[in-house]
Structure 1
Amino acid sequence: MNDRRIVIVTGGRLGDWALLLIGPDDFVIGADAGALFLARRGIRPDIALGDFDSVTAGELALIRRASAETREYDPVDKDYTDTELAWRLAVAKRPKEIVLIGGIGTRFDHTLANVHLLRFAAREGVPACLADEHNRIRLVSGSLQIADEGYPYVSLLPLTETVTGITLTGFLYPLADATIEIGQSIGISNKLTGDAGTIAIKQGLLLAIESRD
């Protein structure tokens, strides 16, 4: 699996834009209503999973028919959200990257929990991101190269209390061995000056959020 991406589609904010983020060689996991989204658009999930408490019996039947494999969980007797179940499965497969689509939505609690999943992937050495129509969110635990892929803004926010030794190259507002603490906005709305830039840190965990309006 190391030579393939895993794309997880979950039940947050979704639209036709999401289809553009799924490649023909991707291993696709549909989590709960995300599996229904895929089934309705003719995309066959390799695995559909969840407690499926957000779909009707008829919709669940459609998911079962449309998916290569369906894993159903009791809505009470489980410790993780459907998205985290899919994320843990994806990390265990050791892909070259995990992309979570639909992880950003109207439920801020779920959105924030999904952002925190990046830490779990980083601890296991698996590159990962959350993506939607306007954002791509990744975690920096050592260094990360940011290529110009149509996001005019790059914001940096600590996921740990303090991030030290932050050095930016190729950015409009460079930093050299800087420290950012939670609650500081100094890292908001930076921009690349060329085709790519590099973020390097010495200690802590830093969210790199690429955005467009």
Structure 2
Amino acid sequence: MKEVNIMVGGILDLVPLDQLQKRTQETWIGVDYGATFLLDHGIVPAIALGDFDSTPAPLLKRLKERVGCLETFPPEKDYTDTQLGVKRAFLDYQPDRVNIYGATGGRLDQLLSNLYFPLLEEFQPYLDRIRLIDRQNEVTYYWPGEYTIKKLSEMRYLAFVGLTPVKNLTLPDEKYRLKNFSTTVPISWSSNEFNGQVNHFSFQAGVVAVIQSRDWTL
């Protein structure tokens, strides 16, 4: 599986550093201060991009010296920095999966922007290949269908989030089961749990985000 990783300049205390260490040889895109964060942790991103409004001038100079491809955008633009990074990842590398780090926590407006942007028409072709990852959560996106999901060893909780109206969501073997539940508004079925290491779910219309999570630990 071909994967590309994106480091966004959000709340970087939430970044799982153990995953970075395992992915040092993979392709990385640094978004705004996320590019500096990567350099600080021994990873030279293939691309650094953004408006760099949160990157001090000396650190931006270092990026220009170290990163082969650096693209600067004005703060007033049609896309968020995260969206620009995702566009470049799929257009340049055609990956099977894009892992986004540093896109959660902090300001709620930015969190919601990062959670919902895969629903935009331009990003829908990539929706089910995008993951949001931090120390507490992993978010994946699904179109209608029948799915098998595997428990992440460090995660306790399981949530099914209808990002759109959803038809006939069925959770047949989770701890708290659900059968053919439909809703006309976005809703989160949260604080569920796996039964065993593998569970299943299905739905017939809409978009569902699956979140595996755990309580915060320092």
Q: Which SS does the other structure have where 1:55 is aligned?
A: coil
Deviates more, 1:132-141 or 1:116-125: 116-125
Task: Name the structure 1 match of 2:79.
Answer: 80
Is 1:206 the equivalent of 2:205?
A: no
> Post-superposition shift, 1:97?
0.5
Task: Name the structure 1 match of 2:101.
Answer: 101
Q: Which SS does the other structure have where 1:8 is aligned?
A: strand
Residues 18-167 of structure 1: matches in 2 within 5 Å? 18-22=16-20, 23-76=23-76, 78-92=77-91, 93-120=93-120, 121-124=123-126, 126-142=128-144, 143-149=146-152, 150-160=154-164, 162-167=165-170
TM-score by length of 1: 0.89
CA deviation profile, 1:47-102 (whole Å, cap 9, x unmatched): 100111111110101122232321111223x2111111101112323211011101
Which of residues 166, 177, 181 is equivalent to 1:178?
181
> Post-superposition shift, 1:131?
0.8
CA deviation profile, 1:160-203 (whole Å, cap 9, x unmatched): 1x201212233111222222443655x11111101111221100
CA-atom RMSD, angstroms?
2.0
Q: Which SS does the other structure have where 1:139 is aligned?
A: strand
Q: Distance in 2 between matches of 1:125 and 1:53?
A: 28
- Unaligned 5+ segments in structure 1 are none
Q: Distance in 1 between matches of 2:29 and 2:187?
A: 36
Q: Is the alpha carbon distance of 1:184 and 1:73 closer, same or farther for their aligned partners in structure 2, counting shifts above 3 Å?
A: closer
What code does the residue aligned with 2:182 have? T
Q: Is the alpha carbon distance of 1:171 and 1:190 closer, same or farther for their aligned partners in structure 2, counting shifts above 3 Å?
A: same
Which of the pair is proportionally richer in helix? Answer: 2
> Post-superposition shift, 1:35?
0.5
Which of residues 3, 7, 23 is equivalent to 1:5?
3
Q: Is the 8 A contact 2:118 2:124 kept in 1?
A: yes
Deviates more, 1:170-179 or 1:121-130: 121-130
- Unaligned 5+ segments in structure 2 are none
Q: Is the alpha carbon distance of 1:183 and 1:49 closer, same or farther for their aligned partners in structure 2, counting shifts above 3 Å?
A: closer
Identical counterparts, % of pairs: 30
Q: Distance in 2 between matches of 1:98 and 1:6?
A: 5
